[in-house]
Structure 1
Amino acid sequence: MSTSPGKKSIFPYLVVATGIICCFGPCSFALSCAGIYFTPVSESLGVGRGAFALYLTIMLVVTALVLPVLGKLTETKDLRLVLSAGVACIGVPLIAMSFFNAVWQFYVTGAIMGIGLAEMLILTVPTLINRWFRKNVGFYIGLCMAFTGIGGAVFNLVGGYLIGTGPEGWRTGYLVFGVLCLVMALPFTLFGVRSHPQDVGLLPVGAEEVAEAGSTQAAAPKGIPAARAMKTSAFFVLAIFTALVNLGMNFYQYLPSYVSSLQQFPDVVAIAATVASMAMLGQAAGKILIGIINDKISVRGGLFFAMICGLAGLGVLLLFPGVSFVVLAGGFMFGVFYASGTVLTPLMTRTIFGTLEYSSIYSRVAMVGSLCGAFAVTFWGLLVDSIGFQFTFIVMLVIIALLIVLGLLSLAAGRKLVPEMEQS
């Protein structure tokens, strides 16, 4: 089907809606809401919380390992089938979990959900937005990704209510979440997307404007082939950057524990819970802000913004532990840094390698980050236990400073690839 310059259509915004729904529903059900089930399910099955929560580790490890395969499928197959299969890999296991009576069954479904999570959380949004838009790419990626936090806030409340309906209310919770996952997302993944705008006779939104401005990101995808990209120094530096981002962002899990250890607050439990909520709000805001800065200034601007927020947030948490509103502001700022894991890294990948084989390249970059993230919570827990919170904060500050250096190095190495992109 030939493309029609200037043709207007609602379809690109159905694509954005699909990205939002995939983050709001399936991703939240699989990841953001997992923690509310740890205690009721482990008590019902008569196992320890750690033994039950192992299914989550299995899910995250599988997520990392299948990314290269899914990246290739996302690049070459009909996205309606790939995305719908990803939704099914989350929704069907959630329904099945409502009937389970042994912990090993959760391990099996955790592995299946890991496949769906790899597609839904890591590949879907950047792939869709990069194919369908040539302007405001950062904003739309950030907007979609922000709904993982919004979904977590909404569905944790829903799940908590369902769990409280009876002795085995967790079964109702899993059943409802599984059905909602399928009902919410499948209509969008089946009917709201196409693999490329050319499939429905369209150009990417903004392609004509960008082409007139003389940019390399016009209608046709331009970039470095995956086989070539993975041999460059830019790829290896970006992979290390992504690994450290995923390690650092998971320190968020210990902010409530840090606040709980403080003696300055009579209402320390409430402050600890609130700092976690502020970090979630910061994460949602940060995803949108990083995207806007990428569009209006540069990806370097987004890098500095995210990292400075991380440094500032940790700094005030460490230096002003007795001032409640400062502690909450620190949690919010660290949440902005957290957002860099799902927004900044795909934008940097796009900037460095282009859009030609984006899914294949980003899936491999994200695999390194996801593997690191799968064990990050355990790493930080061991570190806090061995050296305490103050020294752990210093380690985290050093990591963020290192991320600034690595981010700039990867972008500098990417500039050397621009002539190759022009020829693609």
Structure 2
Amino acid sequence: MSQTSPVSTTPENINGARPRFFYGWWIVIGGFLMMCTCYTTFVNCSSLFQAHIVSDLHMTIGQYNTGTSLASLISIVATLFMGTLIDKLGARQIASFLVILSALLLFGYSAVTAAWQVYVLAAVSGTLITSGVRLFISVVVTNWFNLKRGLAVSAALCGSGFGGMILSPIASTIIADHGWRTAYVALGVICLVAALPIPIIFFRTRPSEKNLLPLGAEMSEDEVKEAERRSGHSLSEVNVAVGWKVLRKHAGFWLLVLGFLFVGVINGAVSVNMVSNMTSVNNDGTEVITGGHSVVWAGYIMSLYMGVVLVAKVALGWIFDRFGMAGGVLVGSVSCLFACLFLCFPSTNWGPVLAAIFYGIGTCTATIGPSIMISHEYGRRDVGKLTGIAVSATALGGIIGAIVSGIAFDAALSFTPAWIIGIVCSVFMGVTLIASAGMAKGVVARCIASGAPHIDAEGNIIEEAQEEA
């Protein structure tokens, strides 16, 4: 059997002086800006537009949530292929395409006049969100970092918190003063101006394209030990090829996928309904006072939520690094549980505030969790494909959460049943993800015992398994 050619492990810069600024931080900065704009406008700001679109197009909450969610099913299929697309097309081309497509979709939303148009745009934007931005950034940033991986991934993805903190009050003010269509146009222009330049100039898929190694891969054994002593956590990497061929038959991996399905159900229910839960809804001609707060007040609560996300993503990345996978999952699942609990009190001032704080922490599990958990537990082999499967499960969960919450609201004219479902899913989320992390060590040990080939810093096979005697 022929041996796979490894990527060079002796880049030029390793032999000379190490650069003060590691190139991979440009990937983090570009990812941060894409999350600030492209991701935020479709995910974190979407609930600002829900009630207005429903009212103007004479829809119900259930029709809106169900239609847009079913249309987004295409995103699940597209997510499964994103890892392959990154390898074939390159990070720079994909990033540029996604930013431009984001702006065009926002311009399209500003011109909708019928429900079917919303569904068509949702089908494309669903693909853009799950397989185009969050997964793309997670995989590319993971490629560039061994050391400080949790910090790097969370720093890039926390752009959604920063962007939402800025864009939520801007969008809600434009909606109040000039209408929701003008707000969509403004967000589209912001995407182009803020997110396009850095990816075009700096993005590369892997460090080898710049004759570099992932940060920390060049460190000697003594340097690794010293870094572990100073940071307080292990920097060891899975250096055998586990990969998709092994994990497709491993129950622990599918338990991880199931855990992220529960995360998606919670996110799908909360993100699309959060503002309507605080304000009121014209549900097919029936005015339903849910929380009774103004849209502007809700916009400030969303800004608070985004501010929490900004801090929580970095903090949760550090928690994953410092306390392991179980520690990060426990914080995320408990936070989701408390968020759903406080969402049951929308007419109070304290309920939405506390819900925003806890949901801002818990929702970060969906964005930074898949790539960090998979690369840490199973190594870099097939990390794009494996992360894509986990993110697809999150997307499927989001569709389920949005549909179920909309149907529940139409039946009860209250979001409380949806939040009760969210509490139950928070418990299942924590149990399944923590259990999967424990099972990962077993499958890696079996691969080592069976003589699985070793991989280099980018997940390429560097030696074949030893033949059994």
Match of 1:72 among 84, 89, 97: 84
1:243 corresponds to: 261
Q: Distance in 2 between matches of 1:327 and 1:161?
A: 19
Contact 2:244 2:382 in 1 (8 A): yes
Contact 2:31 2:137 in 1 (8 A): yes
**Cα distance change on mapping 1:393 and 1:172 into 2, 3 Å:** closer
Contact 2:250 2:443 in 1 (8 A): no
Cα RMSD after superposing both structures: 3.6
Provide Cα deviations, 1:198-229, integer angstroms capped at 9, x if missing partner: 111212112233755375539xx765222332
Provide Cα deviations, 1:11-58, integer angstroms capped at 9, x if missing partner: 2111110110110011122222233344555666x5426556666425
2:189 corresponds to: 179
Q: Distance in 2 between matches of 1:78 and 1:279?
A: 33
**Cα distance change on mapping 1:135 and 1:53 into 2, 3 Å:** same
1:7 corresponds to: 18
1:401 corresponds to: 427
Provide Cα deviations, 1:321-375, integer angstroms capped at 9, x if missing partner: 9996577335422431222111223322222221121111110121122112112
**Cα distance change on mapping 1:152 and 1:328 into 2, 3 Å:** closer
- Runs (5+) with no aligned partner, structure 1: 262-266
2:440 corresponds to: 414
2:116 corresponds to: 104
Match of 2:154 among 139, 142, 145: 142
Match of 1:230 among 248, 252, 255: 248
Contact 2:37 2:163 in 1 (8 A): yes
Match of 2:293 among 269, 273, 276: 269
Q: Which amino acid aligns with 2:260?
A: T
Contact 2:264 2:398 in 1 (8 A): yes
1:346 corresponds to: 371
1:193 corresponds to: 203
Contact 1:87 1:120 in 2 (8 A): no
Q: Which amino acid aligns with 2:262?
A: L
Match of 1:160 among 172, 175, 183: 172
Contact 1:293 1:302 in 2 (8 A): yes
Q: Please give the residue correspondences for 1:24-423 in structure 2 after superposition, counting only pairs within 5 Å.
A: 24-41=36-53, 46-48=57-59, 50=61, 56-58=68-70, 60-164=72-176, 166=178, 169-209=179-219, 212=222, 213=224, 216-217=236-237, 223-253=241-271, 269=293, 273=298, 278-313=304-339, 325=350, 328-329=353-354, 331-383=356-408, 385=411, 395-419=421-445, 420=447, 423=453
Q: Distance in 2 between matches of 1:71 and 1:79?
A: 11
Q: Distance in 2 between matches of 1:321 and 1:111?
A: 30
Q: Which amino acid aligns with 1:332?
A: I
Q: Which amino acid aligns with 1:269?
A: H
Q: Distance in 2 between matches of 1:194 and 1:104?
A: 38
**Cα distance change on mapping 1:39 and 1:12 into 2, 3 Å:** same
**Cα distance change on mapping 1:31 and 1:207 into 2, 3 Å:** same
Contact 2:71 2:122 in 1 (8 A): yes
**Cα distance change on mapping 1:390 and 1:96 into 2, 3 Å:** closer
**Cα distance change on mapping 1:223 and 1:67 into 2, 3 Å:** same
Provide Cα deviations, 1:248-304, integer angstroms capped at 9, x if missing partner: 23443566777789xxxxx96379847655544443332222101112221221112
The alignment covers a number of residue pairs equal to 413
Q: Distance in 1 between matches of 2:88 and 2:114?
A: 38
SS where residue 77 of structure 2 aligns? helix
Q: Distance in 1 between matches of 2:415 and 2:60?
A: 24
Q: Distance in 2 between matches of 1:276 and 1:180?
A: 19
Q: Distance in 2 between matches of 1:324 and 1:105?
A: 36
Deviation at 1:312, TM superposition (A): 4.7
Q: Distance in 1 between matches of 2:106 and 2:277?
A: 33
Q: Distance in 2 between matches of 1:31 and 1:11?
A: 29
Deviation at 1:89, TM superposition (A): 2.6
Deviation at 1:10, TM superposition (A): 4.6
TM-score, length of structure 1 as denominator length: 0.83
SS where residue 356 of structure 1 aligns? coil
More off after superposition, 57-66 vs 100-109:
100-109
TM-score, length of structure 2 as denominator length: 0.75
Q: Distance in 2 between matches of 1:361 and 1:200?
A: 25
Structure holding more helix per residue: 1
Q: Quote the sequence identity (%).
A: 19
Contact 2:264 2:397 in 1 (8 A): yes
